[in-house]
């Protein structure tokens, strides 16, 4: 159980060899879920995107592909995640369309009211004080900006709730809990899409 716990706990803040293995697995293993989430972004053409908790950087790359005129700023509080995301998006960094920084979503060091879109894939499970973090996201979005959350867990599936018991600091939220925190943080027009066959959810909120 010790090695298994150490490995799955890398989802929170990847570190060392196990963390690098986890990041590689995240980039490939979560791709279908992430693309399903991204498919719900319709009718917007963001110029500036913030990818929060970017992990290995795969989803930042997918967003840059979907929005070829956009620039993206990706952050993660794990140094090796930042390293991996920079490696994954090296071409876009050279093209000056992508920046990757170490950062903390509970105290975002990003310019206020500067982004049309912010995204969070498989990461809010580990955000301390959800309402406070959501307020930080609201602060960097322009009026009318969109915040999209994509989770593999809807907060009720047994598999994720088991991991919640194993991984320190992990909390699986229901759509209702997420919506409540978003509304309290200043968002409106919150809409949740639930996958037909899986516990995946996409929550989209407008500032």
- Encode 44-59: b = buried (16+ Cβ within 10 Å), e = exposed: eebebbbbbbbbbbbb
Beta bridge partners of 150: 121, 202
Structure tokens at 3: 């090695």
Provide the mean pLDDT of the chain: 89
* Average pLDDT of the segment spanning 80-88: 94
pLDDT tens, 125-171? 999 999 999 999 999 999 999 999 999 999 999 888 887 887 788 89
Q: What would the CATH number be for the domain defined by 2-206?
A: 3.40.50.150
pLDDT tens, 182-201? 999 999 899 999 999 999 99
Range with lowest mean pLDDT among 21-25, 35-39, 44-48, 100-104: 21-25
Dihedral (CA of 142, 145, 149, 155) sign: positive
Confidence (pLDDT) at 169: 81
């Amino acid at each position: 159980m010790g090695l298994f716990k150490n490995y799955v706990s890398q989802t929170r803040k990847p570190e060392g060899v196990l963390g690098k293995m986890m990041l590689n697995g995240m980039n490939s293993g979560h791709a279908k879920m992430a693309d399903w989430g991204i498919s719900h972004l319709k009718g917007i053409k963001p110029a500036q995107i913030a990818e929060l908790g970017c992990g290995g950087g795969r989803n930042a790359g997918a967003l840059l592909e979907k929005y070829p005129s956009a620039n993206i700023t990706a952050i993660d509080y794990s140094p090796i995640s930042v390293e991996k995301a920079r490696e994954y998006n090296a071409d876009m960094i050279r093209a000056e369309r992508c920046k990757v920084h170490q950062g903390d979503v509970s105290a975002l060091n990003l310019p206020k009211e500067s982004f049309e879109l912010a995204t969070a894939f498989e990461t809010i499970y580990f955000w301390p004080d959800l309402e406070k973090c959501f307020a930080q996201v609201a602060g960097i979005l322009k009026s009318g900006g969109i915040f999209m959350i994509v989770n593999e867990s809807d907060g009720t599936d047994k598999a994720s709730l088991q991991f919640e018991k194993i991984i320190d600091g992990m909390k699986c939220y229901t759509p209702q809990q997420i919506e409540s925190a978003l509304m309290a943080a200043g968002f409106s027009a919150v809409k949740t899409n639930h996958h037909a066959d899986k516990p995946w959810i996409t929550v989209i909120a407008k500032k």
